[in-house]
Amino acid sequence: MQPGEDTLEKVVCEAEVQIKNADGLHMRPAMQFVDVANQFDCDVTVSNGETNVDGKSIMQMSMLAATCGTKLKIKAEGADAQQAINALQELVEGKHFDEPTPTEQGKN
């Protein structure tokens, strides 16, 4: 640990989200997720209950292979942790990656 880092505010935020789009966390949503996560300085960890992965790595995120309905725990650590959590929550649950949910898909 470098000197001075101690003085930084260490914020830890957590949120549980559920995958809502029908096709799940496939490649493109995984890309959107890491793109959003990478806008922030804080560390982002995502867990599906079994494994913890780096929310900024597309390789690790896509390997979660989270299908529709899967619950994920997002943990952010760093000064802008709260903003990161808000943005990711909006992406996953608010916009569901700009993809249809199962009910929307049924209507089409």
Partner 1 sequence: MEIKKGIAVSPGISIARSLIIDSEDYRIPRRSINPSQRMIEIQRARNAFKDAIKELTQLEAGQESKEQRKIKDIFAVHLRFLHDRSLRKKITDLVHLESVTAEYAVSATLREIASHFTNVKDTYISERAADIYDIERRLLRRLLGQKREDVEHLTEEVAIVARELSPTQTAGFDKRYVKGLATDAGGRTSHTAIVARSLGIPAVVALEDLTEIVSGGDTVIIDGNRGIVIVNPDSETVRQYEEYSQEFAELEHKLDAIREKPAVTRDGVRITLLGNIEFPDEAELVLQKGGEGIGLYRTEFLYLNRESEPTEQDHYRAYAETISVFKHRPVIIRTVDLGADKYTQSKRFAPEPNPFLGLRSIRFCLQNLMMFKAQLRAVLRASVLGEVKIMFPLITNVAELMQAKMILRDVMEDLDEESIAYNKDIQVGIMIETPSAALMASTLARDVDFFSIGTNDLTQYTLAVDRGNELVSTLYSSVDPAVLRLIRTVVQDAHKAQIDVHVCGEMASEPEYIMLLLGMGVRTISLASPMMPEVKQIVRSVTMEDCNNLVRKVLGMNSERQIAGFLRNAARRILPEAF
Which residues are marked as active site? Answer: 26
Q: Return the residue of 13, 17, 20, 30 that touches partner 1, per CB under 8 A.
A: 30
Q: Is 28 in the site for partner 1 (CB under 8 A)?
A: yes
The residue type found at 66 is A
Which three-class secondary structure state does DSSP give residue 97? helix
Site string for partner 1, 40-69 (x = CB under 8 A): --------------x--xxxx-xx-x-x--
Nearer to partner 1, 38 or 82 (CB): 38
Helix, strand, coil tally for the chain in percent (to 5) = 40, 20, 40
80 counts as binding partner 1 under rule CB under 8 A: no
Q: Which stretch binds partner 1 (CB under 8 A): 3-11, 24-32, 71-79, 92-100?
A: 24-32
The answer to whether 31 contacts partner 1 (rule: CB under 8 A) is yes
Q: Which of 24, 89, 17, 14 is nearest to 45 (CA)?
A: 14
Q: Is 41 helix (H, G, I), strand (E, B) or coil?
A: coil
Q: Which residues bind partner 1 (CB under 8 A)?
A: 23-28, 30-31, 34-35, 54, 57-60, 62-63, 65, 67
